[in-house]
Chain A
């Protein structure tokens, strides 16, 4: 981090994307079935890190991996979450503004520890890997890791 960016907070929060990174992100996104991948990502979060179920007591049966995978509320909410990710993909140069309201919501109303955003981000990476073995090269993974990290960071920015 340079001295200039250390002074200006908005520069610190800006992510710089190379043309290659943007291409890797948008071209893979074009192939993603948002309902399927979103539902699967959320289900895996609840299965692999069961303590994340604390936010979903209204979702009904989360008693086993099978119950979670088959739970329609999980699928619907997963779709909602991943659809929102699409906003980041469409606004790579302004992720911070894109998530300003959602950041406030997750802090003030939902009371979600930002650590969970990183957990979900890494789960999404693994879901993409299983669905796109040919496309998910190391360079593609690196671009997407940068994206999930930027989204997690933007969601945490409004916390106070």
Chain B
């Protein structure tokens, strides 16, 4: 469970993410496709070249959804309900991949925030992304 301090840290750091939503999202996806090639199997219909329009668009969507989650940290289940349905019945992404994208998103935060990505921020985001992943997999079975 996120503590009050962790929630504040998450919200505070998210202000920085807001300035670069599309960039951060695209970079997280690009890192994931590069480091974990098996994740590309979910995107056979995409142009996966560096800086592709599809990756930028999708990255923006993903970070947008994370932003919704940040604004409703006390109610992730309800906030992400539609996305939860989508992933369970339509996309059926194996949940192991949520960890892979979460890790790559944290690498992006690390690269762009540097020293500001303190251990306290790190654990808060690790917990937050794990909570989001759990909600997305909630209706799988």
Contacts and interface: CB of A to CB of B under 8 A. Distances in A.
Contacts of B34: 138-139, 141-142
Interface in A123-142: 125-127, 129-131, 133, 136, 138-139, 141-142
A43 interface: yes
B35 A142 contact: yes
Nearest to B107: A129
Q: Give chain A's interface residue range (CB within 8 Å of chain B).
A: 20 to 34
Given A48-B123, A48-B126, A126 B110 contact: yes
Given A138-B34, A141-B35, A48 B111 contact: no
Contacts of A125: 103, 107
A47 B123 contact: yes
Nearest to B104: A141
B119 A48 contact: yes
Question: In the complex, which range does the number of interface residues on chain B fall in?
Answer: 20 to 34
B122 A47 contact: yes
Interface string A118-160: 0000100111011101001011011001000000000000000
A65 B5 CA distance: 13
A145 B35 contact: yes
B44 interface: no
Nearest to B110: A129
Interface string B97-141: 000000100110011111101011011001000000000000000
B119 A43 contact: yes
Given A122-B103, A126-B106, A138-B35, A69 B111 contact: no
B122 A133 contact: no
A79 interface: no
Nearest to B32: A138
9 contacts: A40-B119, A48-B122, A125-B107, A126-B107, A126-B117, A129-B110, A130-B114, A138-B31, A139-B34
